[in-house]
Amino acid sequence: MNIHIEKITVSRDGPLAEDFELGCGELNLIYGQNESGKSYIVESLIESLFRTGGRGVQDWPLRPWDTRARVEVSGIDDEPVSFTSKGKEKLESRWQDPDNPLPNDLARLLVVKEGATWLDGTGETGHGVGIDVLRNFLLGQKLLDGVQDRVSKTLQKASIVDGEPQGNQTGEIKDQTTLKGKLAKLDALVEECDQKSSEGRLVTLEAEKKQLRDSQTQLVEAKRHKAFLLSSSVAEKQDSLNKLASDTQIGILTQKIQSCRKKQRDVEKEFEAIPQLEGQVEDHEYLVQAVRNYENYTRVIPKSPQGGDARWQLPAAILCILGMIITGLLGLKVLVVALGIGAAVFVGWHMFTPRGEVDLSPDVNHDLEKLEKEYQQRFGEPVADLSSLQAKTKKINDLAAGAKARIDNFQQTRVEVSEEEDEISNTLADLTGQQVDRNGWDNSIDSLTMSRSDMVQEIKKVERSLAALAIPEDQYLAEDPGHVWDAPGFAEIEQELATIEEAIEDDEAQARELRRSVTNASGIEDDSNWETLLEGLRQKRDGVAKEYHTLTAQVMAKILIHRVISELREDENNRIRRTLADNSIAQCLQYFSRGYVGFNLTDDENLEVVDHDGNTFPVSSLSSGAREQVFLSLRVGFASRALENRAGFLLLDDAFQHSDWEQRQHMVTQCLSLVKMGWQVFYFTMDDHLRDLFREKGKSLGERFKTKELTRRYAG
């Protein structure tokens, strides 16, 4: 006899706008838009018909609604049985066959909640069926689960390596590890107490410490004497440095050399122009004399003696001018002024002396021609008359004066350069102790600089050595102590002393700490004698050892039990594979899917489907619609097997919402085929397309097709 739902009554609450009542047919369509109460009705049915929590049941993630529903089910007893959402009696508890009880997770097969058709209980929605549920459905027994429930998750994952349990540090493994560590500490403490004897060791360490202290004192005295010697060396070298030319002296001398060389270059450069300048002065002197001669040659000499003879004044003036030039070159400025005044007097006398007219003699004409010829050769132009000759003289006068000034400056600078060279050479001779000519100036300066730099570096080197000793000046030791300062040896002694002092301190601390440790471990008062403390420690150790061995034996026993169960699980998996290969399960798959003829369970417990050619495909890699077909066939096959090959009912909450439109046509057709096989189908949807498909296909069932449309409580 098939198990069918005859009537459903759900009181209005939550999003349900009005009381829901349905006299059920073979195919039942419940349509409602979002927030119209469709999910509320589905969850009311689940709470009424099935266990939703408790031992051995995977909890349903139902919303906290206060559902009030009644469901009448036929096929269990002779008369329909009513189940309510508040009642404790559920479909599983009313099953009458004690030899073949309904599985705890029957609801996972008969209900597809919100499109969750998967068989993976760890899926995103948590509404599927996992491998443990398959074992329950296909094998119908809980023996191994009952045994394994007594083995914690920690021990199920643990193993035994070299006679010791190994696993995550939680639960019993953590307790066993803690006891093991505690026992190891107690064993180590007992051994330390048996072996420890620090008195003799301390005596030896103290003797070594005294010997090292004596050696340290000797080296400190040698270090103080070394500091005295270095300080004396610094003073001696500083005195030698003070006798050398200072940086200031060397700098001033270097500047003088640079200045002197610049003047020398100026003199050398000006020397090249001196011949030209002397020529300009000579041209000017020539013109002055030429003007005078021209005047003498062309003037009229008085015929009468009243005017006197004025021919001698001009030669006198010329002599004065020549004297001016010579004394000027010699730098005799007073004579230059006196001769200039005399030349001016003679020229004036000559110009204002009355003359008579005379005829030029042939000799005068000859002298005049000679003057004009020489002028032509010197300046490249003829003499026009006296005025042009005077104009030429005036024109070259400033040029000759500048040339003379440059010649004077040249002579003065040359004298200064000579004096400065002598001064520099004499200074370098005083500083170096030997004569130095101008070619050796640079080498002498470099030698002075290098000598001073070398001495400064020597002083700094000694000062660094002195600073490294870090000895205050008032602790310098002038007397030789008879020991040589040895820095590495002193460092080695200090290291050895530190090691020994640390060892002494550690030994004393260890003795105190050992007593405290024994006191804490034994639980005996600290003021007890050492023998009493040791006896208490050994008793404590024996108690922990007994507890550790007992727990270790229990842990290892459970690990071995789990290992045996795991082997039995493998036998179960083989039985599951054989069940999946059963024709009834394969026929359901062939009936609901297109192209797949059977199932396969892999070694890692993954479900696969097999096509006509023997090819296998992981169910997880199939499309959404194909997976729905596969899982629906499994649900029907497993549920039928659980119901002793009787037809039951399926509650499908939008189970086909992931399928494409062509796939939906096929799935709706399969629902009608289920009805023909004796199954009762309830399909809840808010999809207009699926609603229309069911209405169209359901017409062929006549009165056996029931439909109900829900209204929304809240519009908007």
pLDDT averaged per 10 residues in sequence order, the chain, 716 residues: 91 89 95 89 90 70 87 89 90 64 62 58 41 52 56 73 77 80 81 62 78 85 87 85 79 84 77 74 78 74 46 72 75 70 72 52 73 78 78 79 79 79 78 77 82 86 86 87 84 86 78 75 72 78 83 74 67 72 75 78 81 87 75 77 78 81 83 88 93 93 94 68
Does 148 lie in the same domain as 117? no
Closest residue by Cα to residue 327 from 313, 314, 337? 337
pLDDT computed for residue 127 by the predictor: 37
Does 112 lie in the same domain as 16? yes
Does 148 lie in the same domain as 73? no
How far is 145 from 541, CA to CA, in rounded Å?
39
Does 675 lie in the same domain as 635? yes
Structure tokens at 71: 């469901």
355-379 as b/e, with b when 16 or more CB fall inside 10 Å? beeeeeeeeeeeebeebbeebeeee
Residue 471 falls in which region: left (phi positive, over 0), alpha (psi -120 to 50) or beta: beta
Q: How far out from the chain centre does Cα 409 lie?
A: 75
For residue 12, the one-letter residue type is: R
Cβ contacts of 208 within 8 Å, gap of 6 or more: 496, 500
pLDDT computed for residue 533 by the predictor: 75
Structure tokens at 284: 């000017």
Does 704 lie in the same domain as 637? yes
Number of domains observed in the structure of the chain: 2
CATH number of the domain bearing residue 43: 3.40.50
Beta bridge partners of 608: 600, 618
How far is 604 from 196, CA to CA, in rounded Å?
58
Count the Cβ atoms, other than its own, within 10 Å of residue 258: 9
Cβ contacts of 641 within 8 Å, gap of 6 or more: 137, 138, 584, 585
Structure tokens at 557: 């026993």
Tell me if 639 is assigned to some domain: yes
Does 112 lie in the same domain as 27? yes
Does 147 lie in the same domain as 116? no
- R_g of the chain, CA atoms, integer Å: 67
pLDDT computed for residue 120 by the predictor: 43
Tell me if 682 is assigned to some domain: yes
Closest residue by Cα to residue 704 from 10, 1, 29, 9? 29
Residue pair 314/285 in contact by the 8 Å Cβ criterion:
no
Q: How far out from the chain centre does Cα 372 lie?
A: 101
Does 113 lie in the same domain as 21? yes
pLDDT computed for residue 303 by the predictor: 42
Tell me if 189 is assigned to some domain: yes
pLDDT computed for residue 240 by the predictor: 78
How far is 424 from 253, CA to CA, in rounded Å?
7
Closest residue by Cα to residue 63 from 42, 88, 89? 42
How far is 321 from 341, CA to CA, in rounded Å?
10
Tell me if 173 is assigned to some domain: yes
Does 700 lie in the same domain as 632? yes
Tell me if 640 is assigned to some domain: yes
Tell me if 357 is assigned to some domain: no
pLDDT computed for residue 357 by the predictor: 44
User: Is 444 exposed, middle or buried, given 0-12, 13-18 or 19+ CB atoms closer than 10 A?
Assistant: buried
Q: For residue 40, give its domain range.
A: 4-121+623-662+670-709
Q: Helix 530-580 to helix 131-139 angle, to the nearest 10 degrees?
A: 60
pLDDT computed for residue 136 by the predictor: 54
Tell me if 465 is assigned to some domain: no
Please tell me whether residue 611 adopts helix, strand or coil conformation: strand
Does 631 lie in the same domain as 687? yes
Does 84 lie in the same domain as 50? yes
Tell me if 650 is assigned to some domain: yes
129-145 as b/e, with b when 16 or more CB fall inside 10 Å? bbbebbbbbbeeeeebe
The DSSP string of 14-30 is TTB-S-EEEE--SEEEE
Does 9 lie in the same domain as 116? yes
Cα-flanking dihedrals φ and ψ of residue 27, to 5°?
A: -120, 125
How far is 700 from 65, CA to CA, in rounded Å?
37
